[in-house]
A and B are shown apart, each in its own frame.
Chain A
Amino acid sequence: MVRMWIWILLLFPMCEAASLEKNIPTVLQEAYDSYAQGEVAKTLSERKEAFNRALNLYTEMEKKYDAEYSSGRLYYDIANTYFQLEEYSWAVLYYYRAQKLMPREEKLKHNLTTTQAKLGIEPEPDLAAVFHLLLFFHSYLSLPERLQLFLLVSLCSIAALSAYLWRPQRWLKITAVVFLIATTLLVLSLAYTRYLSPIEGVLIQSTNLYRGAGEQYAPVSEQPTLSGNKLTIVEVLSDGKWLKVITPLGELGYIPYAAVRII
């Protein structure tokens, strides 16, 4: 009897986990269906209800799974849902998150541009052509893709070096050198992404840009910085309550942390 209970106690969590795993595709399907319902809704209230239902399900998935190294489609779907609910600044945030993982996706760029137009924000200019061409892989491939490519190229380097070790032939040496160069370039690209690339965020609520870390300081300009703008975060101050940022116009100032979300 005791043994039976022990088996039940051991097996129960496994069954629970298995059933949760089985439910996820159902949840994803339900979210997709809700979104589709929202697109074909006949009234505003039906549309809002359907999109809100889809958004709840998507954000639940986001909390449960760390999608930072995933395909980016979850972020894309969340961004679309926010757009449909007219929460444009949140849509811009999630489009940027998705763009990091899906840099070549044309419809994402189109949706982001449409959202920015709603907010009256100019789209970002493309990188200089020469720079883009020379380091195409850095912006053409997402971080997870570059990591996969790095692994593949490293394995090829190891294989080529191993072959050269056993059969010291010229063509094997050249092959090994080529793969090593490719590996080095990828390592540099990944190191830049990890250590040198700027931290960026999106303003989710309009706020003044202050001269100091506090509301008693004068604003940098009379016009507040509008939500949806992408900012470069330079420093975190005052126990994390204020951020020193650079706006797209190149203005340097301080904003409250609660107004920004990191991409």
Chain B
Amino acid sequence: MMNFIQSVITICALLVTLPIPSECALWNSDEGENVKVTAEIDLYTALPNQPLKGTITITHDVKAEVNENSFKLEKSPLKAEFVKNVKISPQDPLTISIYSFEIPGQPQGLYVLPEISVEVGGKVYSSIPTSYEVRKAISPPLPLPNNKGPPSSVSLTLKAAVDGPSPLYPGQRAWMVYRYYFNASVELVTEKLPLLEATGFQKIGDKRIKNYSEGGLNVLEVAQEIQAISPGEFKFPPSIVEGYAYQENELKQRTYLKPKLKSEAPGITITVVPFPESGKPASFNGAVGQFTLTTSLLTSATATVDEAIKLAVDISGADLATVKLPELNNLKSFFRLSDLPPIGEVKEGTKRFVVELSPLSTTVKAIPSIEFSYFDPIGNRYSTLHSPPIPITVKSDKEKVPEKQTPALIRPIPRQEQAAAEPAPIQIEGNYLLKMSDLQPLPFGTWSSFWIIPGGILVLAAQFFLKQEMLKKKQTATAKRSEDLFNEALQAPASSAAFFQLLNQAFLLRLTETGHLAAPNGLPEDRSRDDIVGEVRAFLDRIEEKRFTGRGEVSHETIIPEAKELFRKISSKKELP
């Protein structure tokens, strides 16, 4: 018995970890966080007036910690015990944390487990309320032989099936069913269940899980209801489960038995055939099966113009999932229909649509016949049903309706009088008289203004380089000044004072420009220098000596070649930075 319960819990826990979207949870996906919280009551232990045990499963990033003290059932604190962590895969950062909890027992009946909230990674997440049933204890499955260990031959068999009509028509529903047959506790390591993914079909609701015994074996049945969407042939590959049988001692330590158990169910092909085009009535809207149609009034058959009359449209039959409200276009000429279309309610094999109709004028005498068409897959033909017209009496608002007196302060105005009625006062400020400029973007009020950034960078860069160029030119102009002076000196008469003065200034400026002197104020007094400054000093001193002592000739022919040579020597000695 214990082994059986443990195997059910193991298989159920592993199934929950399958990467299949579940209807029982609300994904809180917000920029990368995938946290999913589900909670359910263990149906097997849901016995009357006994504490109810449940499981909370939290799928979360391994970095987002679960605050175990933050569990709440609705708004009351809930004590939950950690069971285990299961990593989805070594590469995946997601992990599944499983907790168990207990709530007080309840009498037999159907209940709703409210939302359970928990803090994960600093944020609060909640599960969706789910229903559960507390019922009398069912007969436990057949105990395993010995009840202390597994039977001599351990078996695990997987069977796959599709319960429902075949072939399917679009809109029809069926169940994709897996049945696990086993006679020992098994821990599954591989599960490939393509039917539960139901590619190409619409899943309806959550998976249904049942446990029972059959032929001495325990059976776990997992089923998913699906709805066919479009015609085609849908091939599902074989389904595979693998696992190891195990034994558990009193300390809950498991001993795994070899060999590895494996079971494969063959692939399944589901065919969805299209509705035949020939003979398809215009009013056909997807109903498949065999049905009957009745209509009845839920309110009085006497009403005033614009007063709502409720009409019940009842369609009875087997496959009500494919039934939709018939088209009511023929009523629109006589009635105003409500904005929100009615959603049908299914009860005891009948789907009821309650339609609100408001007659448009007093000339309306009956609710016309409603046409409903369906496709019968057994007879492979379409059928059309018509409801009988329902006579009604429509009075204007002046005639009192004895059965239905509405104590309203505002009487509805008949439509034909509405047009001539005085309008209500204006409640809002008036319009602007628009101009062309109101239709066009504001000047520079578009994203093209951002071109100013590269433009501005270019302008600043251009200015920067321009400034650099100007500085260079200024320095170059300054360099020419010494040359200008020198050329001027050469033009002056050889023995004139201007010649010597210009020559002196040219040399001093040149030495300054080339960095030999700090300023063109004069040569240093030190005559022992043997650098270019010394050479210039010696040259100028010789000229001065010849001028003032009269020894030696002072003429262009004698001075200028040496002056030129010396001037050139200064230029080549040290360049301007």
Which A residues form the contact surface with B (CB < 8 A)?
21, 24-25, 28-29, 31-32, 35-36, 39, 41-45, 47, 54, 61, 64-71, 73-74, 76-77, 80-81, 83-84, 107, 110-111, 114-115, 143-145, 147-148, 150-151, 154-155, 157-158, 161-162, 165-166, 194, 205-206, 211-212, 214, 216-218, 224, 252
The answer to whether A44 and B423 touch across the interface, beta carbons within 8 angstroms, is yes
Give the residues in chain A near B28, CB-CB below 8 Å: 252
Known: A25-B436, A28-B435, A211-B23. A111 touches B428 (CB 8 A): yes
**The residue from A70, A144, A147, A214 contacting B202, defined by CB atoms under 8 A apart:** A214
CA distance A169 to B431 in the complex (A): 53
Give the residues in chain B near A161, CB-CB below 8 Å: 460
Segment touching A, from B60-68, B414-422, B543-551? B414-422
Q: How far is the CB of B349 from chain A (nearest CB, A)?
A: 21
A-B contact pairs, 23 of them (CB 8 A): A24-B439, A28-B436, A32-B433, A44-B423, A45-B420, A54-B431, A65-B439, A66-B441, A67-B439, A71-B437, A73-B438, A74-B438, A77-B434, A83-B427, A84-B426, A114-B428, A144-B442, A147-B446, A150-B449, A150-B452, A211-B128, A212-B23, A224-B340
Known: A77-B432, A154-B452. A147 touches B447 (CB 8 A): yes
Q: How far is the CB of B410 from chain A (nearest CB, A)?
A: 15
Give the residues in chain B near A77, CB-CB below 8 Å: 431-432, 434
B456 within 8 A of A: yes
**The residue from A21, A35, A44, A69 contacting B431, defined by CB atoms under 8 A apart:** A35
B443 within 8 A of A: yes
The answer to whether A110 and B419 touch across the interface, beta carbons within 8 angstroms, is no
Interface centre among A111, A148, A206 (most CB of B within 10 A): A148
The answer to whether A35 and B430 touch across the interface, beta carbons within 8 angstroms, is yes
The answer to whether B467 and A165 touch across the interface, beta carbons within 8 angstroms, is yes
Known: A44-B419, A162-B463, A211-B26. A148 touches B444 (CB 8 A): yes
CA distance A216 to B427 in the complex (A): 42
The answer to whether B202 and A216 touch across the interface, beta carbons within 8 angstroms, is yes
Q: How far is the CB of A181 from chain B (nearest CB, A)?
A: 15
Which B residues form the contact surface with A (CB < 8 A)?
23, 26, 28, 128, 202, 204, 227, 339-340, 418-423, 426-447, 449-450, 452-453, 456, 459-460, 463-464, 467
Q: How far is the CB of B445 from chain A (nearest CB, A)?
A: 3
Would you call the interface of chain A mostly helix, strand, loop, or mixed?
Answer: helix
**The residue from A28, A45, A69, A157 contacting B419, defined by CB atoms under 8 A apart:** A45
A-B residue pairs, 4 tightest by C-beta: A144-B445, A69-B441, A45-B419, A65-B439
The answer to whether A42 and B422 touch across the interface, beta carbons within 8 angstroms, is yes
Known: A71-B442, A144-B442, A147-B444. A29 touches B433 (CB 8 A): yes
- Given contacts A69-B446, A158-B459, 16 further A-B pairs with CB under 8 A are A25-B436, A28-B434, A44-B420, A67-B438, A70-B440, A73-B432, A77-B431, A80-B428, A145-B442, A147-B445, A148-B442, A161-B460, A165-B463, A194-B447, A205-B339, A206-B339
Interface centre among B431, B450, B460 (most CB of A within 10 A): B431
**The residue from A43, A65, A145 contacting B445, defined by CB atoms under 8 A apart:** A145
CA distance A194 to B446 in the complex (A): 12
Give the residues in chain A near B441, CB-CB below 8 Å: 66, 68-70, 144
User: Which A residue's beta carbon lies closest to that of B442?
Assistant: A144
Q: How far is the CB of A177 from chain B (nearest CB, A)?
A: 15
User: Which B residue's beta carbon lies closest to that of A41?
Assistant: B423
The answer to whether B340 and A206 touch across the interface, beta carbons within 8 angstroms, is yes
The answer to whether A162 and B438 touch across the interface, beta carbons within 8 angstroms, is no
CA distance A158 to B433 in the complex (A): 39
The answer to whether B446 and A144 touch across the interface, beta carbons within 8 angstroms, is yes
CA distance A154 to B428 in the complex (A): 40
The answer to whether A83 and B428 touch across the interface, beta carbons within 8 angstroms, is yes
The answer to whether B340 and A70 touch across the interface, beta carbons within 8 angstroms, is no
The answer to whether A61 and B429 touch across the interface, beta carbons within 8 angstroms, is no
CA distance A252 to B26 in the complex (A): 9
Give the residues in chain A near B204, CB-CB below 8 Å: 216
Known: A24-B436, A28-B435, A211-B23. A43 touches B459 (CB 8 A): no
CA distance A161 to B530 in the complex (A): 50
User: Which A residue's beta carbon lies closest to that of B202?
Assistant: A216
Give the residues in chain B near A66, CB-CB below 8 Å: 441
Give the residues in chain A near B463, CB-CB below 8 Å: 162, 165-166
Give the residues in chain B near A205, CB-CB below 8 Å: 339
**The residue from B339, B431, B452, B456 contacting A76, defined by CB atoms under 8 A apart:** B431
Give the residues in chain A near B426, CB-CB below 8 Å: 39, 84
Known: A70-B440, A144-B442. A162 touches B459 (CB 8 A): yes
The answer to whether B431 and A80 touch across the interface, beta carbons within 8 angstroms, is yes
